[in-house]
């Protein structure tokens, strides 16, 4: 018998940067009465037959963490290190897992466990990164597995039952209200957005589980139903909103949480300001000029005081109240100058910048090749009548730079930003509210210098006599001066409003956040942490469930921030459900998306196998580099573990994951024929590449450019309150006399502007603990050398891509890389920096 020494590194429970001293004192009291933290090693020696299970490895004697009472955690460094001593029998084999029991009062975050000088082996290291609650909170003890990756059939026999048992725990039993210590990953419908108990106007339809409102699934919380509607899950009050259930390991880490609270506080204050304004003040400020708007960045504005501030303080999450007391009120009221107006305050108004932002702005994924003129609608003519475009040759011929329309079409020089068919079914209902929108089509010409020149904008409304009578449309063409220039600027604003709403609701929320969450849930339910595919995808799960849970509390809920700032208003989430009907997983792959939009054609002689029809398309150019690097990394990784397709087909966990993802996570689409079969290594490579692309690069490209471009709201208004002024009306005369005042009376009003700017500042900010594509939280994540080398190669490839991007951004011939506003395209620059830098691709959809 001999002793071997281990070291446990953990983080004690804390609140932000200050340790929870009461919990610490209680833990020490528990130590004094013999209630310790203990570990037990599990080895493959001395196997015994269980009556209920397969062979299980021997569980060693308990060993406790030593010197808990005398080890003081410094306030400036979370980590504490503890020694633990194990009795070791000579014939014991190398430990392959361990059990930990926490008999203290409080939970702690277990980071690593290391054994030194293990006989016949040496160093044994476990990376844990998990919260461990007191033992009384668990039905079964916590177990941690080795770094070694094992496919199910390769798992050492003595570990198999432990592996299966752990997955059973994570799946839960589907019942009860889940608590913070529960580790259950389960599914629920989006039935927690409304609050019918508060007011019938706050009720919202259940999304998911029906053909009328299909939707991806979210994480289950198990909260009870509302009293008014048993189909709707009750909501937490705003002060408790950050405590909505997700498995504890999915919540933000300390640094991320601290960063998030600081920025979110500004959003919450502005949101509550708009909520409570009517109670204390009947006046409603408006912007009258662009100079008024510039003052937001140059001088800030004053936060309210007195009863209004008191109401706000009483309604913010508890975690934020301390920050509010510590911050200067002026600090919370300041906005940094957005990049789009930093160099030139008026360049955003140019037609060149209007077109460039479709290629390199915050929503560069919607522009398509125009294949026929005039554009034709795909809406059902029996329901919506004739919805074909009313744009005529005479509207655009003068601006085709000498080309005929047929010549421009044949040369692939005409493009369209089409928000007509997707919005027309919703326009009539939205326009019954205070918001007023049009369905829109925007035609553009690709010029010889690579820039896009707007040709015409068509704004359409449903026929007043009914949908079946078709659309009432007006066409507007470019102009710079006079009333025509004012009308053209408004027409571009209506297009920007549509694109802004589609961007936030569909490009950003639905097509990244919402569709990703079922992948996270299914993987944790069906793939062991030892499974190589789990190890591959794990970095791309980080914080997604928690940020989505927060979004359901304050952003996308009924009466929430999105409804207050986006043009669909209370119909926002319902409208996103309609878009989900057209969501197809394989089409989220970047090459497929570019082909479907007509932006690229297959060309085996070109890099990446595609030829772009717009050479200077920054999103596509940089995106294909990132896509190819991800695919190469995934291919190297998967082929190491899956030498043939039979292994894929016989991998029980992998097949269960893919089956559950389709049938439960995206259950409303389970019968779609386009789902990959998961019967070959190539299918697995395609699936994982697409998932990683969406969770990382696609999300980065549609998220972190928000403040640089939409932080100055006139560039991308989020809603409109009036229709286009018509000739011979008072509104038209007013537009002649004061174009700036009419512009601001049309677009997002004052309070919603403040709220919207605060929101995109939060969403666009990189936290200080961000982990970027090509990086991992821990360098020790597998023991297999080839995958480690492949990942190192992937990291080097990210650096090469960064060098390419920097070089292209300095190339004066590539006009779309920087544009009139002098904002370099860095949204797909892999490595970012803390704050509002407009660059960096985090591994996951985490904000």
Q: Report yes or no: 440 and 501 within 8 Å, Cβ to Cβ.
A: no
Cα distances from 386 to residues 370, 380, 468, 694, in angstroms, run 19, 9, 8, 36
Catalytic option among 498, 699, 715, 841: 699
In sequence order, what DSSP letters do the residues of 513-544 get, joined into one string?
Answer: IIHHHHHHHHHHHHS-TTSHHHHHHGGGGTTH
Q: Give yes or no: 426 in active site.
A: no
DSSP state, residue 73: P
Q: Give yes or no: 671 in active site.
A: no
Q: Report yes or no: 684 and 648 within 8 Å, Cβ to Cβ.
A: yes
Token digits of residue 413? 């020089």
Per-residue b or e along 372-397, where b marks 16 or more CB atoms closer than 10 Å to that residue's CB? ebbbebebeeeebbebbbbbeeebbe
Positive or negative, the CA dihedral 203, 209, 213, 219 is: positive
Q: Report yes or no: 527 and 655 within 8 Å, Cβ to Cβ.
A: no
Catalytic option among 703, 715, 816, 843: 703
Positive or negative, the CA dihedral 347, 348, 350, 351 is: positive
Omega of the bond prior to 563 within 30 degrees of 0, cis? no
> Number of C-alpha atoms within 13 angstroms, CB side, residue 837?
17
Cα distance between residue 68 and residue 30, in whole Å:
10
Positive or negative, the CA dihedral 668, 673, 679, 683 is: negative
Q: Give yes or no: 847 in active site.
A: yes
H-run or E-run covering 187: strand 187-188
H-run or E-run covering 279: helix 254-280
Phi (first) and psi of residue 646, to 5 degrees? -60, -35
Cα distance between residue 411 and residue 67, in whole Å:
76
Cα distance between residue 701 and residue 721, in whole Å:
29
Closest C-alpha among 33, 31, 59, 34 to residue 45 = 59
SS3 of residue 18 by DSSP: strand
Cα distance between residue 192 and residue 585, in whole Å:
25
SS3 of residue 143 by DSSP: strand
Cα distance between residue 685 and residue 630, in whole Å:
10
Token digits of residue 514? 């919402």
Q: Kindly calculate the radius of gyration of the chain based on its CA atoms and give it in whole angstroms.
A: 29
DSSP state, residue 598: T
The C-alpha angle 626, 549, 430, rounded to 5 degrees, equals 90
Q: Report yes or no: 825 and 801 within 8 Å, Cβ to Cβ.
A: no
Residue 664, classified by CB atoms within 10 Å of its CB into exposed (0-12), middle (13-18) or buried (19+), is middle
Cα distances from 658 to residues 520, 678, 684, in angstroms, run 12, 7, 10
H-run or E-run covering 124: strand 122-132
Q: How far is CA 728 from the centre of its chain?
A: 47
> Number of C-alpha atoms within 13 angstroms, CB side, residue 377?
26
Cα distance between residue 740 and residue 56, in whole Å:
76
DSSP state, residue 468: G
Cα distance between residue 471 and residue 68, in whole Å:
74
Q: Report yes or no: 336 and 297 within 8 Å, Cβ to Cβ.
A: yes
Catalytic option among 508, 531, 666, 766: 508
DSSP state, residue 418: E
Catalytic option among 513, 531, 540, 766: 513
Closest C-alpha among 564, 558, 669 to residue 205 = 558
For the annotated catalytic residues, the residue numbers are 508, 513, 699, 703, 847
């Amino acid at each position: 018998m001999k002793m071997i020494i281990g070291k446990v590194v953990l983080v004690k429970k804390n609140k932000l940067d200050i340790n929870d001293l009461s919990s610490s004192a209680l833990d020490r009291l528990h130590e004094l009465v013999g209630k310790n933290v203990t570990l037990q090693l599990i080895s493959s020696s001395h196997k015994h037959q269980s009556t209920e299970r397969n062979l299980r490895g021997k569980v060693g004697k308990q060993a406790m963490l030593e010197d808990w009472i005398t080890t003081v955690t410094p306030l400036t460094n979370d980590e504490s290190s503890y020694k633990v001593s194990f009795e070791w029998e000579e014939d014991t084999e190398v430990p392959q897992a361990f059990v930990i029991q926490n008999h203290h009062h409080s939970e702690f975050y277990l980071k690593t466990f290391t054994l030194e000088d293990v006989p016949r082996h040496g160093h044994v290291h476990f990376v844990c990164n998990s919260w461990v609650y007191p033992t009384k909170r668990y039905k079964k003890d916590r177990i941690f597995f080795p770094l070694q990756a094992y496919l199910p059939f390769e798992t050492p026999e003595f570990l198999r039952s432990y592996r299966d048992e752990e997955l059973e725990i994570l799946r839960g039993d589907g019942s009860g209200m889940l608590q913070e210590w529960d580790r259950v990953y389960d599914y629920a419908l989006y039935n927690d957005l409304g609050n019918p108990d508060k007011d019938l106007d706050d009720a919202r339809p259940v999304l998911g589980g029906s053909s009328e409102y299909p939707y991806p699934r979210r994480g289950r919380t198990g909260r009870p139903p509302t009293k008014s509607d048993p189909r709707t899950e009750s909501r937490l009050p705003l002060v408790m909103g950050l405590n909505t259930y997700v498995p504890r390991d999915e919540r933000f880490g300390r640094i991320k949480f601290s960063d998030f609270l600081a920025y979110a506080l500004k959003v919450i204050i502005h949101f509550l300001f708009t909520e409570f304004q009517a109670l204390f003040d009947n006046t409603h400020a408006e912007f009258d000029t662009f100079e008024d708007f510039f003052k937001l960045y140059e001088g800030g504005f004053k936060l309210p005081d007195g009863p209004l501030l008191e109401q706000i303080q009483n309604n913010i999450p508890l975690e934020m109240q301390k920050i509010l007391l510590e911050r200067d009120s002026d600090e919370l009221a300041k906005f940094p100058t957005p990049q789009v107006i930093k160099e030139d305050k008026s360049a955003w108004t140019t037609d060149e910048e209007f077109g460039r932002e479709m290629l390199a702005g915050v929503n560069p994924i919607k522009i398509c090749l125009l294949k026929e003129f005039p554009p034709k609608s795909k809406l059902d003519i029996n329901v919506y009548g004739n919805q074909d475009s009313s744009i005529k040759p005479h509207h655009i011929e003068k601006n085709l730079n000498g080309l005929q329309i047929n010549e421009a079409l044949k040369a692939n020089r005409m493009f369209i930003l089409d928000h007509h068919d997707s919005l027309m079914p919703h326009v009539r209902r939205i326009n019954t509210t205070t918001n007023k929108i049009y369905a829109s089509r925007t035609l553009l010409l690709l010029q010889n210098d690579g820039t896009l020149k707007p040709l015409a904008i068509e704004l359409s409304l449903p026929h007043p006599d009914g949908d079946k009578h078709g659309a009432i449309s007006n066409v507007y063409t470019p102009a710079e001066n006079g009333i025509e220039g004012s009308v053209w600027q408004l027409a571009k604003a209506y297009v920007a409003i549509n694109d802004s709403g589609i961007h936030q609701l569909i490009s950003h929320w639905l097509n990244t956040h919402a569709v990703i969450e079922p992948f996270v849930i299914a993987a944790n339910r069906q793939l062991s942490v030892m499974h190589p595919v789990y190890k591959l995808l794990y970095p791309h799960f980080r914080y997604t469930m928690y940020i989505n849970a927060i979004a359901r509390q304050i952003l996308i809920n009924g009466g929430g921030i999105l409804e207050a700032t986006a043009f669909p208003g209370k119909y926002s989430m319902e409208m996103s459900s309609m878009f989900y009907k057209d969501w197809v997983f394989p089409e989220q792959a970047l090459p497929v998306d570019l082909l479907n939009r007509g932006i690229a054609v297959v060309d085996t002689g070109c890099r990446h196998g595609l030829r772009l029809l717009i050479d200077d398309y920054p999103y596509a150019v940089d995106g294909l580099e990132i896509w190819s690097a991800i695919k190469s990394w995934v291919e190297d990784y998967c082929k190491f573990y899956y030498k043939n397709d039979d292994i894929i087909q016989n991998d029980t966990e992998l097949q269960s994951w893919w089956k559950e993802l389709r049938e439960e996570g995206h259950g409303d689409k389970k019968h779609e024929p386009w789902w990959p079969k998961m019967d070959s290594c190539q299918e697995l490579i395609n699936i994982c590449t697409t998932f990683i692309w969406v969770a990382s690069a696609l999300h980065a490209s549609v998220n972190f450019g928000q403040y640089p471009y939409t932080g100055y709201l006139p560039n991308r208004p989020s809603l409109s309150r009036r229709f286009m002024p018509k000739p011979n009306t008072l509104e038209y005369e007013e537009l002649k006399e004061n174009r700036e005042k009419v512009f601001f009376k049309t677009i997002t009003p004052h309070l919603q502007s403040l709220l919207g700017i605060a929101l995109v500042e939060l969403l666009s900010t990189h936290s200080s603990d961000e982990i970027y594509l090509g990086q991992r939280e821990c360098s020790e994540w597998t023991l297999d050398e080839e995958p480690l080398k492949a990942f190192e190669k992937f990291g080097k490839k990210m650096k090469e891509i960064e060098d390419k991007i920097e070089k292209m951004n300095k190339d004066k011939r590539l006009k779309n890389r920087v544009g009139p506003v002098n904002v370099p395209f860095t949204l797909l620059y892999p490595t970012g920096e803390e704050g509002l830098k407009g660059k960096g691709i985090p591994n996951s959809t985490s904000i």
